[in-house]
Amino acid sequence: MSDLLAQAEDELYTSDPDGFTARRAELAASARDAGEPAAAKQIAALRKPTRSAWIVNRLVRSDPGVRSRLDALAADLRDAAGGGQLRELTAARSRLVDELTRAALSGLPAPPASLREEVTATLDAAIADPEVAGSLGRLTRAAQYAGFGLGGPASFGGTVSAPSPTSRARKPAETETEREDRRQEKIKEAERALSDAGLDLETAAAAERDLEDTARRLEAELADIRQRLAEARRQSYRAESRRQRAVQQLSRLKE
Tens place of pLDDT per residue across the chain (255 aa): 688 999 999 999 988 889 999 999 999 999 999 999 999 999 999 999 999 999 999 999 999 899 999 999 999 888 876 667 888 888 999 999 999 999 999 988 888 999 999 999 999 999 999 999 999 999 999 998 765 444 333 333 333 333 334 433 444 555 777 677 778 878 877 876 776 676 567 667 666 776 777 788 888 888 889 888 888 888 988 888 889 888 888 888 887
Do residues 74 and 133 lie in contact, with contact meaning Cβ atoms separated by under 8 Å? yes
Question: Closest Cα partner for 43 from 57, 62, 67, 27?
Answer: 27
**First vs last C-alpha separation in the chain:** 106
Q: pLDDT at position 155, please? A: 35
Distance CA 30, CA 23 (A): 10
7-8-11 Cα angle (round to 5): 85
Model's pTM, two decimal places?
Answer: 0.56
Report the 10 Å Cβ neighbour count for 164: 9
Give the pLDDT score at 12: 93
Per-residue pLDDT, 182: 75
Domain definitions of the chain by residue range: 3-44, 51-158
Q: Across the chain, where does the E strand assignment appear?
A: 144-145, 154-155
Burial 68-91 (b: 16+ CB within 10 A, else e): eebeebbebbeebeeeeebbebbb
Q: What is the pLDDT of residue 23?
A: 93
What does the angle CA 72 – CA 116 – CA 136 come to, to the nearest 5 degrees?
Answer: 40
